[in-house]
Amino acid sequence: MRKLRVLVLMHRHLVPPESNEGLTEEQIALSHMERKVIATLKQLGHEARALGLEDELGPIRPAIEEFKPHVAFNMLTYFHDVASYEAHVVSYLELLKQPYTGCNPRGLVLAGDKALSKKILAYHRIPCPQFALFPQGGRRARLPARMRYPVIVKSVIEQGSAGIAQASVVKDDASLQERVEFLHRTLSTDAVAEQFIDGREVTISVLGNERLQTFPVWELWFDKLPERNEAIATSRVKWDEEYAKKIGAHTGRARELDPVVEKRLLHIAKRTYKALDLSGYARIDLRMDAEGRAYVLEANPNPDLTPGEDFPESAKSVGVPYAQLIQRVLNLGIGYKSAWKVE
């Protein structure tokens, strides 16, 4: 395996300091993924250099000209505080003819818009929930006749369960209007209401460009969920570790899953990946109802690579250790056929 120069793009406030001295446990944990990826790259024998970005593309070009990286490892989840702007950073890398890891800009745009992605999935006859879009500044939210309550209200573009709470699952017109207005006011994004699928929440990790590999179906459970609460991954579940422990939230390989159902889920995940023109690696989120029917909720390009999260854990469960996973992500980035490679 040849030694690579890897420029690791990350948020400026997550660039790991040279020493942990004086840092709190919370501060150290904040950049755990960035530390682990850099340490793993060095463990693999590569030369890794961190580049922190905030709201300017300017630092990227001189860093590339000086360091001459074989590949840029993209760890950004937003840019200029806007989730959908991540695609523009990747577009800039393509303009510089710089190989990079993770998803291409077209896939990031398509998957990053929950309404647009569902239109594409519906065109390809990939099962997904019925939905209604409520733009900012539009008329008062009202459910179309083709839909029924309950529905779950989300931001169209935000990631990481931002804006999702137990109050997101609404059962009447008044609650729908209130939740849509709340998202418009607090997140300044359009809102989407999806038919709520009561059932199991599962994720499928996919790795590849043209040839795809899926890892085992992963499931989210709640062992101590309070009564009348819905089993959904709220923002509090995702980011409040103490609360997640309190309600017994944990993930693992899906239990008692019929092999026929599992095969169908993996097939749906691959079709979703291809329909949205994804590359590199992604996590496909689905829900299954009591009859075993599966519905794609969304696709998440460049999912969390922190050890213990769904993507690395599902890979590990079938004999792909963390270091090997990171190397495969690098290889896919170098091998991706960008526009300048097919001239």
Contact assessment for residue 302 and residue 89, using Cβ atoms and an 8 Å cutoff: no
- The pLDDT value recorded for residue 337 is 84
With pLDDT > 70 as the criterion, what percentage of the chain qualifies? 95
pLDDT at 160: 79
Q: How far is CA 69 from CA 28, 65, 195, 240, 295, in A?
A: 27, 8, 45, 37, 40
Predicted local distance difference test score (pLDDT) of residue 296: 97
Predicted confidence at residue 128, as pLDDT, reads 96
- The pLDDT value given to residue 234: 85
Q: Is residue 111 part of a domain?
A: no
Lowest mean pLDDT among 157-171, 195-209, 282-296, 311-325: 157-171
- What pLDDT digit, counting tens, does each position of 216-275 carry? 999 999 988 888 888 888 888 887 788 888 888 889 999 989 999 999 999 999 999 999
- Residue-number span of the structural domain to which 203 is assigned: 198-335
- Please report whether residue 15 resides in a domain: yes
Looking at the domain assignment, is residue 236 inside a domain?
yes
Structural domain includes residue 341? no
Residue 109, in any domain of the structure:
no
Check residue 268 and give its pLDDT. 98
The domain boundary residue, chosen from 78, 100, 122: 100
Instruction: Give the whole-number percent of the chain exceeding pLDDT 90.
Output: 75
**Helix (H/G/I), strand (E/B), else coil: 287:** strand
What are the pLDDT digits (tens) for 64-83? 999 999 999 999 998 888 88
Distances (CA, A) of 239 to 11, 201, 213, 244, 270: 18, 18, 29, 8, 28
Task: Identify the pLDDT of residue 17.
Answer: 81
299 domain residue, yes or no: yes
| Contact predicate 193/152, CB 8 Å | yes
Query: Checking DSSP bridges between strand 218-222 and strand 249-253, what pairing results, if any?
Result: antiparallel
Which 8-state DSSP code applies to residue 139? Answer: S
CATH number (domain holding residue 157): 3.30.1490
Residues 11-45: tens digit of each pLDDT? 998 998 876 766 666 666 778 899 999 999 999 99
Tokens of 98: 């710089």
Q: Which of 170, 195, 220 is the last residue of a domain?
A: 195
Looking at residue 225, its pLDDT comes to: 85
Lowest-confidence region among 47-56, 143-152, 174-183, 218-227: 218-227
Total structural domains in the chain?
3
Cis peptide bond N-terminal to 150, omega within 30: yes
H helix or E strand, kind and range, residue 123: helix 114-123
What's the mean per-residue pLDDT of the chain? Answer: 92
Instruction: Using the 3D structure, point to which of 162, 195, 228 is the last residue of a domain.
Output: 195
The structure tokens listed for 10 are 């990350």
> What pLDDT does 121 receive?
97
